[in-house]
Structure 1
Amino acid sequence: MSGVASALAGLDMGMPGDEMIPLLGTSYFMYDLTRAALNGLVPMDRINDMATRVVAAWYQMGQDKDYPPPNFSSNTDAATGLLYPGAVFSPSGIVNQFVDVQGDHATVARQVATDAITLLQNTGSLLPLGVARPLVVFGTDAAVNPSGPNACGDRSCDTGTLGMGWGSGTANYPYFDDPITALKNRSTGGVTYHNYDSWPWFFPPSQSGDEVAVVFISSDSGENQYTVEGNHGDRDSAGLSAWHGGDALVQSVAKAYDNVIVVVHTVGPIVMDAWIDLQSVKSVLVAHLPGQEAGESLADVLYGTVTPSGHLPYSIPKQESDYPSSLGIRGFALGQIQDTYSEGLYIDYRYLMKNNIAPRFAFGHGLSYTNFSMSNAAISVGTALTSTLPAARPSKLPTPSYSSAIPPASEATMPAGFSTIWRYLYSWVSLSDAQADIAASATSTYPYPAGYSTTQKKGPAAGGAQGGNPALFEAAYTVSVTVGNMGKSASGRSVVQAYVQFPDSSSYDTPVVQLRDFAKTGTLAPGGSGTVSLQLTRKDLSVWDVVQQNWLLPGLPSAERYTIWLGEASDQLHTACYTDTLTCEICKPLTALSPPPCQRLAASLGAYTAQEAVAALLNQARGIGHRRARAAADLAGEAGKGWVAGDGGRTDKVGRGGRI
């Protein structure tokens, strides 16, 4: 690795500093960058540029204006500790002032955890539960780590309820509210807890009444600085299976109990096909990584205090082989494993739709305890798109003026009387080395590659502000839709998702559809409704051209049709709005097995017949079982009210579970 080449290529700093041998080695920059600046291999203009970029964030965050100094230590929980961790004979002092900065964090944490809980299936409307229903709970994931929620360094274990992954970005829990405690506090019918992950074949528990079994399973991952249960950071050993034999535990409980709820705490998708279709597995909830409010947030949803409104941020496949080849880059390897990302843009639902692979649960999937309708979809123009390229980027502000002269040797040496700390890194060099480097600057040049120019290039056309050229973020179209709560008893929140289908005439390779915006309604009471508006920006409708190094429109939307698909999941996109005609229509739901174009049901929302709707339902059905007849009847009864999506049934298989 060349520190000079890295600096010239744009690297501003290396973190952490001791990159070669932790606690004992040096940095790749350190002395070498100092000497490269003195001997002219790295121009002072570049050094100035690097320093400016580093301190710019400091100014951006207002840290130059009465910003509080550090008042806590990441190395100890005690009030006093080493002032220079890692250094031998470091003095001690106050390192933790225990400043409470949480504010209403506990309230926010609970709301976030509750909003994220995703109901995958709910056969027979088992959920929500009544508080008098007795529960039998299985799985160590239901209770906090017996050694404490912060017992494992950087959370590098999967013991007890999984609230976060592991690695250097973790934090200590101020407290941990676990599910089993919350369930016992809510239930009046009693909770029996079997705190194990393996089914006891001697004296196994069994059904004794109308109790409901709740099985907790998990799947963890983190940074590869830790190996957890054979997994080197990523799930390279467990794959997409539940940890601790979770699949077998669900299967065993499903044999013993008639009504089973599975709760999954996971860092990402797990394959569920080993048990998802078992008759007694009625309800499945993905609680993701809920953090400190794991218990009460889950209890709110299980008992119906809150209607679930979460949606999957990934697809759940039927088998690992349904995903692209990069998933299989795991297991033992000499050196660092390599992924060339040959799938390009085709990840998750984009890959599945391109290859006509139906997932078990689609990206964006999520059920509710009520039913929602979408109607009155409309599309309007915002900032007119009259050119394929965005407007020119704004002019740059004047840059600070610095001297580009190589500094004197004295500035590169340690100041007199400065006390160094062992193991801490300093970039000063000796006076003799500094003088020799400056002398060499008259003749030394960096061996630039053939064709390389040291002339500063113009700023990229796609730049000009934080995030890019401001013209990219102007709203080109607004799509609005009315969402109604069609249920009789439960309030709830719906999520409207907007996906873009690029013009068929485009020469660029683009996925079938791509999520571009989404919004969650406020809480809608039964019979209530609200309007959701989603915006599509120029960037949403653009592709990155590697030759022009800019975002461009494959076609002008007023002339070449972009289709904006609306729905509640990537496999339930049932409304299409068009940029060329500014009209919307109802379609057979877009899925991996039913790709574009729109298979039209009606020219306008609210105008299709019951027969057309039921036909679409049956075409969409993929094995709903005993709920098919009810779903079809419900849909026929709602014809003319708009497209209905909602509660209850086991489904990625029909609509949103009972109604489309």
Structure 2
Amino acid sequence: MLWSSSIAVVAALSNTASAQLNDAYSPPSYPSPWMRGGNGWADAYTKAQAFVSQLTLLEKVNLTTGVGWEGESCVGNTGAIPRLNFPGLCLQDSPLGVRDTDFNSAFPSGMNVAATWSTRLFKSRGNAMGSEHGGKGVDVQLGPVAGPIGRVPAGGRNWEGFSPDPVLTGVAMAQTIQGIQDAGVIACAKHYIGNEQEHNRQAAAPYNFAYSANIDDVTMHELYLWPFADSVRAGVGAIMCSYNQVNNSYASQNSYTLNYLLKNELDFQGFVTSDWWAQLTGAASALAGLDMTMAGDQGLASGDTFWGSNLTAAVLNGTIPQWRLDDMVTRIMSAYYKVGRDTHKVPVNFNSWNLSTYGYQHPEANEDFTQINWHVNVQDDHAALIREIGGASTVLLKNTNNALPLNKPKYIAVIGEDAHDNPAGVNSCSDRNCDIGTLAMGWGSGTANFPYLIAPNTALKAQAASDGSKYTNVSDNYDFDAVTAAVTGADIAIVFGNADSGEDYITIDGNQGDRNNLTLWGNADALIAHVASINPNTIVVLHTVGPVIVEAYKNHPNVTAILWAGLPGQESGNAITDVIYGKVNPQAKSVFTWGKQREDWGVDVVYTPTSDPPQLNFNEGVFIDYRHFDAAGIEPSYEFGFGLSYTNFSYSNLVIQKQNPGPYEPTTGETSAAPTFGTIDYNAADNEFPPGWHAVKDYVYPYLDGPVPTGLPQDWPAGAQDGSPQPKLPAGGSGGGNRQLWDTMYTVSATVTNTGGVKGTEIPQLYISLGAPTDPKVVLRGFDDLILDPGESETFTYEVTRRDISNWDTASQNWVVSTYPKTVYVGSSSRNLPLSGALA
């Protein structure tokens, strides 16, 4: 299906949006909504109330405040309650495995598992990761990731998330969360919200402020908030707010995004934690909806805090009402009970700062030398799942004349550093802060140590030995003489290349988190061109963090196959060998669009801002990735949702059945008044350090460290301290939004048939045109993975919800189904949609 260009419409929208966004403003929204125990939280809420009712003021504050960087074993730790034998909470990275420990697994990236389009694998990966975190004593896994969603292709942390499409990301978030929390660990969805590039995400010279992601109301709801709504509906226990500003208000103290959108409209019942040192105010952030601060200190190992003693003082002098503090702690403990931490918890048995068996319990202070690591093996049989996801996430982009799969070739040459081991060792680069050897994960806090890493060269060499094939390999991307000798006369030449990125605190080859370009690293583009100039059967394998420019070798006649393997984790080599040799038939579909040139995406990283605070105007609205390519009439190298198989599939028999769920009813009524639990001792002397107390250096405590400030100006935002009943939002009332958004409006089905000669998995995709001239051509709404034998047919069925066919209306602050005609499309990619029908 070919699109006509509507770039004029997009340009007009962009110009209008730009004028609005230049003065972006985040309106105040108070008070912070208190949890009510709805949406499946009732039992946990009851247990939390009973627990919180026992606590003193100091104990309550201790649960909201981190103990400081390297204060305890985990990357984040809250204070303990020794009187009740409660050790505090352990929060630990990452979204692809347990960070900074040993005997753990290194899972494929979020981007990779999304490329499988398999809800079973989404949930299985989440459950395996959750079980590993739980086995190490972790209470909160810091993942999964929906921010960044992937607005800009060069964004450094896109690979930690899933896809620039909000529906695919939302489904992956929900399934991953359910998997993690079924394992008895709290999932923490992050980074909320608008965290779409690494440059200037925090204030750094010469800029005094972090960038402001300026997002209009429609774009917020229809794109960036969508997967977080799915996360809330899935029962996520925690959400981490981001470093950046949103409409010129910092995300960790943005009352509109936290109070109005998250806790009111989406009815989020869990707790909000800051990203590490993203909190920039004390009482104001509590009133704006922040429930926990991490790492607890104001800056890296600073020893001071916005909360801790200051939060204690703010409650004592009346700035923070008891109901607000009680709600913060009740939300934290409700998440704890909801996932069963009270029955699943084991003691923390690792130390993030030292892999040795013995070390300091308080590393920052070098105090309490003791056993800190028990080296507990939590890997179970997860290697098999990692290998399965690695194969199922490998996208076959090109396969001329059935060049793949291979069948016992006489002579195979494997070329490129990316096929080989890092000679210094798999974990020689801390937080993966180098690009040496094969790339299996990006860099930064979203990483985990490898228990091992099977390089492609290792697995392919073993396969060649099994087949009796001649095998040669070259790891040096610049030694073209050796490469020439290796590939000359080879039946198959497989060339590996990569492109890396990650978090901004690491810079590699001049790339500060975000990529500087969309080309391959380490001379790999030239290497591919050289091999293809010699060998007529050149296969290209790409380990990249996102799209790269492939036009030169895509169209080269000697490049017979291209595979994107992404960041597949520890079983990388085995997974790609499975695909190349046909043990696994590719099912993966690209989760992003591949442009022909950098400008094709229409948006990019702002590397050098022109103002302070830097203003990132999201002028494109919802038109990112395939939505932009479609609207602007740009032909991509490979479209969103594209991927080949070793077999073929056909689509037929579209059937649309209209359902009648009744009219949409906005939520009405008021909440109950804010509850309080237990009593607070307002005597300042009773909240001071006990006599003779030894304070660990730089450790954050809840005890008063001076007089309680009084006589403060009473100019807190209107309603911020008001615990009286509050009106419910029309679009709210249930987890993720109004419950009627998930009413089924239509049931759509289609027949998918395997018309080829081998068993394979097809990913049928359902898109909808919402009809308005300001809407994208189509938007993804549903998908499935169907395993079909040769000649077998199966029915793909999707229930179209009210939410699927709605737009956000800024005037009514609600979802509406417009009068524009709606059309449903079904096919194998965003641009190959042979079936269509009206949703009448």
TM-score interval for Structure 1 and Structure 2 normalised by the shorter chain = 0.7 to 0.9
Which of the residues 808, 832, 839 maps onto 1:572? 832
Closer, same or farther in 2 for the Cα pair 1:151/1:129, shift >3 Å? same
Cα displacement (A) at 1:391: 5.6
Q: Look up the match of 1:482.
A: 751
Q: C-alpha distance in 1, partners of 2:287/2:674?
A: 19
Cα displacement (A) at 1:102: 2.2
Q: Sequence identity of aligned pairs in percent?
A: 37
Cα displacement (A) at 1:28: 2.7
Closer, same or farther in 2 for the Cα pair 1:397/1:569, shift >3 Å? farther
TM-score (norm 2): 0.63
Query: What amino acid is aligned across from residue 753 of structure 2 in structure 1?
Result: G
Q: Look up the match of 1:136.
A: 413
> Does the aligned pair in 2 maintain the 1:40–1:445 contact within 8 Å?
no
Q: C-alpha distance in 2, partners of 1:100/1:361?
A: 41
Which of the residues 389, 397, 404 maps onto 1:127? 404
> Does the aligned pair in 1 maintain the 2:417–2:477 contact within 8 Å?
yes
Is 1:471 aligned to 2:740, yes or no? Answer: yes
Q: Look up the match of 1:145.
A: 422
Aligned pairs for 1:228-627 within 5 A:
228-235=508-515, 237=516, 239-325=517-603, 327-330=604-607, 338-382=615-659, 384-387=660-663, 389-390=664-665, 392=667, 400-402=675-677, 407-430=682-705, 433-434=707-708, 437=709, 440=710, 444-448=712-716, 454=722, 457-488=726-757, 490-504=758-772, 509-522=774-787, 524-555=788-819, 561-580=821-840
> Does the aligned pair in 1 maintain the 2:386–2:570 contact within 8 Å?
yes
Q: Look up the match of 2:55.
A: none
Which of the residues 26, 45, 55 maps onto 2:323? 45
Q: C-alpha distance in 1, partners of 2:539/2:775?
A: 39
More divergent stretch after superposition (174-183 vs 5-14)? 5-14
Query: What amino acid is aligned across from residue 496 of structure 2 in structure 1?
Result: F
TM-score (norm 1): 0.79
Cα displacement (A) at 1:97: 2.2
Cα displacement (A) at 1:23: 1.3
Report the 3-state secondary structure (helix = DSSP H, G, I; strand = E; otherwise coil) of the residue aligned with 2:566. coil
Is 1:34 aligned to 2:302, yes or no? Answer: no
Is 1:197 aligned to 2:472, yes or no? Answer: no
Which protein has the larger Cα radius of gyration, Structure 1 or Structure 2?
1
Which of the residues 211, 216, 222 maps onto 2:496? 216
Query: What amino acid is aligned across from residue 762 of structure 2 in structure 1?
Result: S
Closer, same or farther in 2 for the Cα pair 1:457/1:228, shift >3 Å? farther
Report the 3-state secondary structure (helix = DSSP H, G, I; strand = E; otherwise coil) of the residue aligned with 1:377. strand
> Does the aligned pair in 2 maintain the 1:199–1:249 contact within 8 Å?
no
Closer, same or farther in 2 for the Cα pair 1:471/1:483, shift >3 Å? same
Is 1:185 aligned to 2:450, yes or no? Answer: no
Q: C-alpha distance in 2, partners of 1:300/1:203?
A: 25
More divergent stretch after superposition (27-36 vs 5-14)? 27-36
Q: Look up the match of 1:594.
A: none
Q: C-alpha distance in 1, partners of 2:443/2:283?
A: 34
Which of the residues 80, 94, 107 maps onto 2:358? 80
Closer, same or farther in 2 for the Cα pair 1:308/1:433, shift >3 Å? same
Report the 3-state secondary structure (helix = DSSP H, G, I; strand = E; otherwise coil) of the residue aligned with 2:760. coil
Q: Look up the match of 2:156.
A: none
Report the 3-state secondary structure (helix = DSSP H, G, I; strand = E; otherwise coil) of the residue aligned with 1:360. coil
Q: C-alpha distance in 2, partners of 1:494/1:444?
A: 64
Cα displacement (A) at 1:470: 3.0
Is 1:67 aligned to 2:345, yes or no? Answer: yes
Query: What amino acid is aligned across from residue 790 of structure 2 in structure 1?
Result: P
Q: C-alpha distance in 1, partners of 2:290/2:573?
A: 44
Closer, same or farther in 2 for the Cα pair 1:128/1:499, shift >3 Å? same
Report the 3-state secondary structure (helix = DSSP H, G, I; strand = E; otherwise coil) of the residue aligned with 1:53. helix
For residues 370-422 of structure 1, the C-alpha deviation after alignment (integer angstroms, 9 at most, x for no partner) is 1101112212234x2543x4563899799753368772213432234443211
Closer, same or farther in 2 for the Cα pair 1:380/1:104, shift >3 Å? farther
Q: Look up the match of 1:10.
A: 289
> Does the aligned pair in 2 maintain the 1:563–1:578 contact within 8 Å?
yes
More divergent stretch after superposition (288-297 vs 464-473)? 464-473
Greater relative contact order (CA < 8 Å, ≥ 6 in sequence)? 2
Which of the residues 113, 119, 135 maps onto 2:390? 113
Report the 3-state secondary structure (helix = DSSP H, G, I; strand = E; otherwise coil) of the residue aligned with 2:494. strand
Q: C-alpha distance in 1, partners of 2:676/2:721?
A: 23
Extract unaligned runs of 5+ from structure 1: 581-660
Closer, same or farther in 2 for the Cα pair 1:393/1:565, shift >3 Å? farther
> Does the aligned pair in 2 maintain the 1:183–1:299 contact within 8 Å?
yes
Query: What amino acid is aligned across from residue 566 of structure 1 in structure 2?
Result: V
Extract unaligned runs of 5+ from structure 2: 1-279
Q: C-alpha distance in 1, partners of 2:318/2:791?
A: 73
Q: C-alpha distance in 1, partners of 2:332/2:714?
A: 24
For residues 55-97 of structure 1, the C-alpha deviation after alignment (integer angstroms, 9 at most, x for no partner) is 2221222112352221222222232222112113x12222222
Closer, same or farther in 2 for the Cα pair 1:58/1:393, shift >3 Å? farther
Report the 3-state secondary structure (helix = DSSP H, G, I; strand = E; otherwise coil) of the residue aligned with 2:397. strand
For residues 348-391 of structure 1, the C-alpha deviation after alignment (integer angstroms, 9 at most, x for no partner) is 00111111111110000100111101112212234x2543x456
Closer, same or farther in 2 for the Cα pair 1:133/1:552, shift >3 Å? farther
Q: C-alpha distance in 1, partners of 2:574/2:671?
A: 51
> Does the aligned pair in 2 maintain the 1:205–1:256 contact within 8 Å?
no
For residues 247-267 of structure 1, the C-alpha deviation after alignment (integer angstroms, 9 at most, x for no partner) is 111111111111111000011
Cα displacement (A) at 1:533: 1.5
Cα displacement (A) at 1:281: 1.0
> Does the aligned pair in 2 maintain the 1:182–1:296 contact within 8 Å?
yes
Q: C-alpha distance in 2, partners of 1:101/1:394?
A: 48
> Does the aligned pair in 2 maintain the 1:40–1:444 contact within 8 Å?
no
For residues 16-65 of structure 1, the C-alpha deviation after alignment (integer angstroms, 9 at most, x for no partner) is 22233x11342233333232222222222222222222222212221123
Q: Look up the match of 2:374.
A: 97
Report the 3-state secondary structure (helix = DSSP H, G, I; strand = E; otherwise coil) of the residue aligned with 1:204. helix
Q: C-alpha distance in 2, partners of 1:411/1:532?
A: 65
Query: What amino acid is aligned across from residue 502 of structure 2 in structure 1?
Result: G
Report the 3-state secondary structure (helix = DSSP H, G, I; strand = E; otherwise coil) of the residue aligned with 2:655. strand
Report the 3-state secondary structure (helix = DSSP H, G, I; strand = E; otherwise coil) of the residue aligned with 1:493. strand
Q: C-alpha distance in 2, partners of 1:95/1:289?
A: 31
